[in-house]
Structure 1
Amino acid sequence: MDPNPSKRLRTTDRGDGTGGGGEEEEERAVDVSIIMPVFNASCWLDECLQAVLHQDFLGSMELSVFDDASTDDSRTVVEGWRTRLEERGFSVVVSGHDSPQPRGVGYAKNKAVSQSRGQYLCFQDADDIMLPQRVRLQYEASLLHHNSLIGCRVQRQPEGSTERYTRWINSLTQDQLFTQVYTSHGPTVVMPTWFCSRRLFLTVRPFDEGGKGVPEDLLFFYQLLRQGCGLFRVDRCLLVYRYHEKATTHSVTEKTIWKLRVDFLQERVLSQWEKFTIWNAGKQGRMLYRSLNPINQKKVRCFCDVDENKIQKGFYTYEESKERPKPKIPVLHYRDATGPFVICVKLDMTGGILEENLNSLQLKEGADYYHFN
């Protein structure tokens, strides 16, 4: 890798979202493009770009920014960093559009990728802060795991926000990156930490451009797994992951996420099982049962639980069913139930009791049970 890469000349957008104009640019690809969609991020950009500037990666780098119709001075702030970044050896391309409405984060990411030239893509949210080692360590991991999506551990800011979610991100084992993809937390390799080869990105698909309310990261993540791609996490904290009420993730409804998760569970797991048990006879377990297609509903052997009140009732009646008589599913104590299991109890919410119960049955995650919670 050339420690002093020559700069590729790129120009800012003419306002039509098509990228640069008349200047010639080198055809040679850079090693890593930092992909940054921007929408009204002015208050965070200085801190974000300062961190980009301080990356200790010695290869050639590019910053590719697409501004999704910001109404603040985001574009001006980014342009203010151009000289410093180019002096550091970065190629810089900044474009965007000035439509009355933003077209969504999926659209902005796709545009930032399409105008970039990196052999590897490092996705960076404008409100987050990458630590100095991020590009280097994830690039090195990508060379070893070339067909994998690479993530890392994170530090949440403000400290203590989304405590359970942050603990989950950072504590997943390599196997659990695959087995816990059905949980409500979303992608096990969380989007703000994504790093991958351009070849992998093009193999999967562009991001969904449906706009506000579309979980473009989860849709891409599930498609990546369908394509047989791998997952890997660098077990170092390489990103300060900011939590705030304006984050785009808040626009996605639980109903949308739920349906995607159920469909993926049926496709990847339940289609392989002849019978299974839903672990939780309460609201979440019954909701999963009602969401299954008729074929998989008939595969449900029983519900299991630890709540004596639910167990004493003996069964759950599916009142919404058009079948006559209406299906009645037995409710058993978990020790009397037979696997495999779909666990519909929230992780990290029972003081370790759920985990102890699973361990007592000597069950293996990813074979005897999957979490769906």
Structure 2
Amino acid sequence: MKENRPRGRQSASKETTENGPLNLRQLSEMLHLSQTTISLVLNDSPAAKSIPQHTRERVFEAARKFQYRPNYFARSLRRNCSMSIGLIVPDVSDGYFTVLMHAVEEYLIRSHYFYFTASHYRKADLTREYSRLLLERAVDGFLMVDTPEEIQTSLPTVAISAHNPAPGVVNIILDHDKAAELALQHLYDLGHRRIAFMKGPVGITDAIYRWSGIEKAAASLGICVAPELSLQLLEMNQSPEMGYDPVRDLLAQRTDFTAIFCFNDVSAIGAIRAISDAGLRVPEDISIIGFDDIISAAYYKPSITTVKQPLREMGTTGAQVVLDLIQHPDKEYPGEIIMQPELIVRESTGPAPENLKSWSQPGRRRSVARV
């Protein structure tokens, strides 16, 4: 059967010469093929195998001739890769993501890889949409940070702090059981028995595993995780307000505790301010322990005792693994690479006070979300 060749190829060539390379829409019109079909072919998607060989050859021929996406496609033809990575993250706010993303970017730059960063703000529909758009840009692999949603792709994919269950995904996670053991053993050795706990917001995958670790470590030490001292954080806004509001509300009702294990260092900063505003001192009256060891934790007053996540190592390992999988498609990695935490002792923790003061100020009572 003779293939019907689209008319207007000369005009397309002229347009390319005068106005630069064709875009996807123009290439689609010229070839009489859908934009999706062209993207599947050029991105070497597994779905492209169902497209007839002569159609795929037409797409490649046109892409070469009319210089479609020269920055990526021409290089892909030579190397069978675009030398680019798709980074999918909740956001790029200060704190946890700053340290981790800097390590990721540093490794990719050294490896001469370009990267696209997409922030989904914990919306599953954006995660799916961004993964599709990154596929259209012919990325060679995905690096997903704190993003548990599965994406439909056969590309090498590494997830950091996501506990992503998708087949083939390599997960880089922290040993949260060990992290809780380090924090609670430190407080226990200082004499703390009545401890308030923060549980991370719903939607933060690590929060589930961290809380499970807390419950296990507390049980082994004989520490009661009291419901009245368990604070459920309602949102992850990467502002000290996240820790300030619940601790302020708790202190308006009771002070029969000597320490707070905060969800992260940002919430610890807010907790310290709430304690100070209540006329109490850290660590003389209440000790504070954070999580992550963000850059500012060592420079806050008082400096924050924290469970350090090896964020730079996690970022570097994530970038290294995804590039290794791209370069060696048959190489096998375990489903999980577990990173070890470290306790960093600073000024915000001290011996538990001998006498607890239990008091309330009804006029300042506010509702506190409980676990």
TM-score, scaled relative to structure 1: 0.23
Q: Which has the higher contact order (CA 8 A, sep 6+)?
A: 2
TM-score, scaled relative to structure 2: 0.23
